[in-house]
Structure 1
Amino acid sequence: MPASRNKKNLQVQRSDHTTIWYTVSGPAEGPTLVLIHGWACNRGDFDAVTDHLPANYRVLAIDLAEHGESRSTRDVWTMEEFARDVAAVLEAESVDTAVVAGHSLGGAVAVEVGRLLPDNVSHVVALDSLTYLSLFPAQSQEQTAAMVHMFREDFAAGVRGLVEGGSPAGFDSALKNSYFEKMVAVRQPAGLRSIEGLVHWDMDAALRETKQPITVFAVRAFATQEAIDRYGDRFDIVLVDLGSHHFPVEAPEGTAKLLASVTTE
């Protein structure tokens, strides 16, 4: 087992409507890695991952607004606004250069952080994100309406569908239930509004304006050839076999090795 890092829990205030909590560990002069959780999750998903990273890394794990400990009364729940949550932490920590990695929805946020801070973000990493063609690229008006309607009509069923869709055949039912229970309890209205923000996000437009290299670590079971053909020339897609869509929780050591491989390039 790795030695647990010395972690500090801090907060940064964004105007009068948003307080962002984050965890920082590692030496201030070390290479900086920023970790962004997925929708309806929290920065605790990266606790074990952080412990497996090289000791000289400076790691910032962030709770997006209304996730985990962070709180907000704002009305805007777009990927761009979540990126400003992350940017506020980087400013508070005086980060000059960082690799920004995000899981699921956090991958979309990481892209937006790269677009927002082109001089500070050296590499964008997406953990099982960006390659789901029914969720990330801009959808038609009809598709978007159907997704939003599903969550508005029966939020729990929508969450259950996401968990099931991100679980390989025969996957541990207890783990699936634990993910469901955590995600269905996301604070509202932010939970619903942020999933709406994701399905309205124009990923192709964001990618055109994101100049950093992007690496996607995609679960092999869910990565379609169509997605690889569509985006293989825009970002580096690496297929992994570390578990379900939530593999950072299930395989923290393997995830840490993936992140370190990108950070040390």
Structure 2
Amino acid sequence: MNKLLIAIICFLAACNNAADEKQPPPLAKLIVENNGVNIDFTESGSGDTTLLFIHGWNINKEYWDAQIDFFSNNYRVVAIDLPGFGKSGKNRGKWSVEEFGNDVQSVKKALNLKNVVLIGHSMSGAIIVETAIAHPEQIIAVVGIDNFQFVGYNWTAKDSADFKTIYKELETNYRVSVKEMAEKNLFSPSTDSAIKNRVIKDFVTADSALAVKALRACDTYPLDQRLTSLNKTLYLVNSNFRQTDTTGLIKLKIPFSLHEVGPTGHYPMIENAALFNAQLQEVLKEIRKLPQPPFSAH
């Protein structure tokens, strides 16, 4: 090899080594726990407002990747794995909406989050309501994602019987039952097959015992009653494949603002991320107009 080339390579290597030596060691990631249960999270961006994303049943924080990339240019963005899901701990005896709310509070407190907009998908609609009521400090708004479609609905005896059947099937033959449930209820004709496969894989590989307990906790949570104590506008970004029935919200005098993202399935944040982000951006514009503590994009 040419001596000059060797000298150049050695020089560049030396420069790289020197640069590496000057780099500070990476900061250790903060560990967040609630009563000994680890809560995994990602954090990016900066700003005087925090968007705190909470996933739905049987999925994880990675479903928010497109939102993290988009909104971290202007906001502090945090996404968490709820205990029992993703990379968070499972060492818990009690699974309830209230305890999930305590998990969110633990993240909020540990990361010292300010001017927080809680954004909850699916079952986490109940969790963000509970968190905002039980731990209102620094929470300026709540945003539901494809949820709150049937507030105020009077469940019939047949509905109750159907629920019992569903839970029995989940408890006795989880993988088959949860796959059928997903295929029948969570997708629209426009849902891409790759997204269907992703969701179904996450569903069938979830911890079945914990998944059923978490679902039952949300189903038995007195959501309508708790909504009347929220004292905040309920912002919704929903698919219109199945129309959101706002009758109950109106009857209960819950202030709300509904934004629709077209006929996606139950996962608009990954099925049509561009339109979803645009609608969520409109929601944030509405929130900034409210008489709140300082709220502005960075």
User: Shorter-chain TM-score category?
Assistant: 0.7 to 0.9
The structure that is strand-richer by fraction is 1
Aligned residue in 2 for 1:262:
283
Q: Is the Cα–Cα contact under 8 Å of residues 142 and 235 in structure 2 kept in the other structure?
A: yes
Q: Say whether 1:178 aligns with 2:201.
A: no
Aligned residue in 2 for 1:57:
75
The gaps in structure 1 that reach 5 residues or longer are: 1-7
Deviates more, 1:167-176 or 1:189-198: 167-176
Amino acid in structure 2 at the alignment position of 1:246:
Y
Alignment partner of 2:196: what SS? helix
Gap change, CA 1:243 and 1:211, over 3 Å in 2: same
Residue of 33, 56, 70 corresponding to 2:88: 70
Q: Is the Cα–Cα contact under 8 Å of residues 195 and 271 in structure 2 kept in the other structure?
A: no
Residue of 187, 208, 220 corresponding to 1:200: 220
Residue of 102, 111, 114 corresponding to 2:120: 102
Equivalent residues in 2 for 1:1-265 (5 A)?
10-16=30-36, 18-27=37-46, 29-53=47-71, 55-132=73-150, 142-160=161-179, 161-169=181-189, 171-224=191-244, 227-232=245-250, 233-234=253-254, 235-241=256-262, 243-264=264-285, 265=288
The gaps in structure 2 that reach 5 residues or longer are: 1-27, 289-298
Q: Is the Cα–Cα contact under 8 Å of residues 240 and 263 in structure 2 kept in the other structure?
A: no
Amino acid in structure 2 at the alignment position of 1:197:
A
Number of residue pairs matched by the alignment? 253
| Deviation at residue 138 of structure 1 after TM alignment | 7.6
**If the length of structure 1 is used for normalisation, what is the TM-score?**
0.86
Amino acid in structure 2 at the alignment position of 1:172:
D
Output the CA distance in 1 between the equivalents of 2:168 and 2:149. Answer: 23
Q: Is the Cα–Cα contact under 8 Å of residues 260 and 279 in structure 2 kept in the other structure?
A: no
1:182-236, Cα deviation, whole Å (9 max, x unpaired): 1221124211110111111111121022112111112111125xx2212244232
* Rg larger in structure: 2
Amino acid in structure 2 at the alignment position of 1:148:
Y
Amino acid in structure 2 at the alignment position of 1:14:
N
Output the CA distance in 2 between the equivalents of 1:110 and 1:147. Answer: 25
Q: Is the Cα–Cα contact under 8 Å of residues 168 and 221 in structure 1 kept in the other structure?
A: yes
Deviates more, 1:86-95 or 1:161-170: 161-170
| Deviation at residue 145 of structure 1 after TM alignment | 2.5
Amino acid in structure 1 at the alignment position of 2:40:
W
| Deviation at residue 153 of structure 1 after TM alignment | 2.7
